[in-house]
Amino acid sequence: MSLTCLKRFISDNEEESVCSSSRRKNRKRHFNAPSHIRRKLMSSSLSKDLRAKYNVRTMPVRKDDEVQVVRGHYKGQQVGKVVQVYRKKFVIYIERINREKANGNQVFVGIHPSNVVITKLKIDRDRKKILERKDAGRRAADEKLKGKHTEDAVAATAE
């Protein structure tokens, strides 16, 4: 279940976080989301080797990334470059994934980013910063959990 949270400012230095788990409110916010939020909604997971390299699980898809379709009719081993990210329709267009219309024209088939895996990232300065920030956050979370004792570990030492 997804939760949508909004911050409401009560006074100058007080704020209140309002979260909703209502299905219809979450659907409304999803489908009416502005472009800068759709960018994050249109994220894909990274391939296993990229995940190991950058210590990051997902990234928003952008043009010129190389992706592989892993779900749906077009799934397979071929890797294609992202031609366009169409935020309005929540789809991406990938080279070589197209169909022929009745009049003979070739058109791209829209694929949702959740159905692809990014195999090669187009790295620029901003994206590099995002990767470093996400990696630092994951490392900090790992450090925080390092000193904790799990139930299984305690039970194993007691025996």
5 pLDDT exceeds 90? no
pLDDT band at residue 159, thresholds of 50, 70 and 90?
confident
pLDDT at position 13: 75
**pLDDT tops 80 at residue 102:** yes
Least confident of 15-19, 106-110, 140-144: 15-19
Would you say 116 and 70 are in contact if contact means Cβ atoms under 8 Å apart?
A: yes
Q: Average pLDDT for residues 24-45, to the nearest whole number? A: 95
Cα 102 from chain centre: 35
Contact yes or no for 20/30 (Cβ under 8 A): no
Domains of the chain, first to last: 1-32 (no CATH), 42-147 (2.30.30.30)
Q: Is 1 a residue whose pLDDT tops 60?
A: no
The average pLDDT across 35-48 equals 96
Nearest to 82 by CA among 124, 112, 125, 38: 112
CA atoms in the 13 A half-sphere facing the CB of 127: 14
